[in-house]
Structure 1
Amino acid sequence: MLVDAVLAYAREHLATEPVLPWPELHPDNRALKHASGKWFGMLMRLPYATVGVDKPGRVDVLNLKAEPELVDALVTRPGFTRGYHMNKRHWVSVRLDGTVDEEDVLDLLHASFLLTGGKG
């Protein structure tokens, strides 16, 4: 499962444990944050329709920060949309339903970590 891979990567390579920013409202949402409190990722479970897919049910999604040019390129590919509930120019939402390869997801996670002030 890609959510498990994202959480394991964040723990092992980025020394980050997820936090529940709104446990009462959205217990499925988990933020990945720097020690400073700055977010570099947000895991959410959203209706497929929210990410532009005409399909019933919900999907795990990871919001990541990226350079605007990369966001523009990624949203032309299956599995990517502009960041849900984030700045659409600087954030991208990635479906974690197997549409995007795990390696690509983890590379983008690491890039988001670095872009938002991480070292490593």
Structure 2
Amino acid sequence: MTSIREEVVKYIKKKYKASPENLWRSYPDYAVFRHDDNRKWFAIIMDVDADKLGLPGNERIDIIDVKIDDLMLRDILLQQEGYLSGYHMNKQKWITIMLDGSVDLQQVCRMIDASFLDTASKKKKDKFRQPKEWIVPANPKYYDIEAAFDAADEIDWKQGAGIIKGDTVFMYVGAPVSAILYKCKVREVDIPYYYEDKNLKINALMKIKLLKRYKRDAFTFERLKSEYGIYAVRGPRGIPNSLSAALK
């Protein structure tokens, strides 16, 4: 029967392509997992005597240490079975999880995911983060997006900073329309393209697919301002949960 420790190692190898590194001759069963670019650790698996963890008994217990930046969550987890202060790590920034079944495998994997993102470079965070929703402006003075979506349901658009494949963009068409008209899914990013004039600079394009149309009077700028606190749409920006729910 496969142990939880073996399942955890298998999960990290499959999802993050990170292999265990055994750095200490004296502790051959200690395994570190780190990022391939910034070389930061995001997990370390060890087997430790129970009494060194402040637990009764003298058997060796498999544990994993992961990074945790949310101190409130850390304090909550430490009240639960299977979680301990970071063993041999910064106890404010790391937490120990026992791999004895007291914490189910799915939750252990979620904690590894959070640690991976907490320690990742910006480029890698963008690659592995969950999809986000954005409002993206379209200025009809420079491009007729309404005509473009009347002709096709998939178009190329200037790629906004931070937007990745899988994100959702709500296209806000500027004056004289001044309203959100389209919901789109980002299908492709980093399409090579360069353009620059006195009003516009483009370094890359993204491909967006039309999912939904909105009436011109549904999500006007006045409504965005009065109901959702959005006072300007000058570039790609996130949206509040209340607006996200309304747009669905």
Fold equivalence (TM over 0.5): yes
Q: How many residues align?
A: 119
Q: 1:12: which partner in 2?
A: 14
Report how far residue 37 of structure 1 moved: 1.5
User: Please, which of 80, 87, 90 is the counterpart of residue 87 of structure 1?
Assistant: 90
Q: Trace 1:88-103 onto structure 2 (pairs within 5 A).
A: 88-103=91-106
Specify which of 27, 42, 58 is matched with residue 60 of structure 2. 58
Cα distance in structure 2, aligned partners of 1:105 and 1:50: 21
Q: Aligned residue for 1:109?
A: 112
Match of 1:69 in 2: 72
More strand by share: 2
- Per the TM alignment, residue 9 of structure 1 is displaced from its structure 2 partner at its CA by 0.9
**Does residue 1:31 correspond to 2:32, yes or no?**
yes
Q: What amino acid does structure 2 have at the position aligned with 1:102? A: L
Task: Point out which structure has higher relative CO (alpha carbons under 8 A, 6+ apart).
Answer: 1
CA distance in structure 2 between the partners assigned to 1:91 and 1:70 by the alignment: 12
| Greater Rg by CA | 2
For residues 94 and 6 of structure 1, what CA distance do their matches in structure 2 show? Answer: 12
> Matched residues in 2 for 1:2 and 1:115: separation?
23
Paired with 2:52 and 2:97, the residues of 1 have a C-alpha distance of: 12
Structure 1 unmatched ranges of 5 or more: none
Secondary structure of the residue that 2:87 maps to in structure 1? coil
State percent identity of aligned pairs.
32
SS at structure 2 position matched to 1:105: helix
SS at match of 2:61: strand
Corresponding residue SS for 1:104: helix
Give the distance between the partners of 2:109 and 2:43, measured in 1 at CA.
Answer: 11
User: How large is the Cα RMSD of the aligned pairs?
Assistant: 1.0
Q: TM-score, normalised by structure 1?
A: 0.94
In the superposition, the TM-score normalised over structure 2's length comes to 0.47
Whole-Å Cα distance in 2 between the matches of residues 51 and 79 of structure 1?
11
Q: Secondary structure at the match of 1:63?
A: strand
Q: Which has a greater percent of helix? A: 1
Per-residue deviation at 1:71?
1.4
Tell me the CA shift for residue 21 of structure 1: 1.3
CA distance in structure 1 between the partners assigned to 2:54 and 2:80 by the alignment: 12
Give the Cα separation in 1 of the matches to 2:22 and 2:72: 30
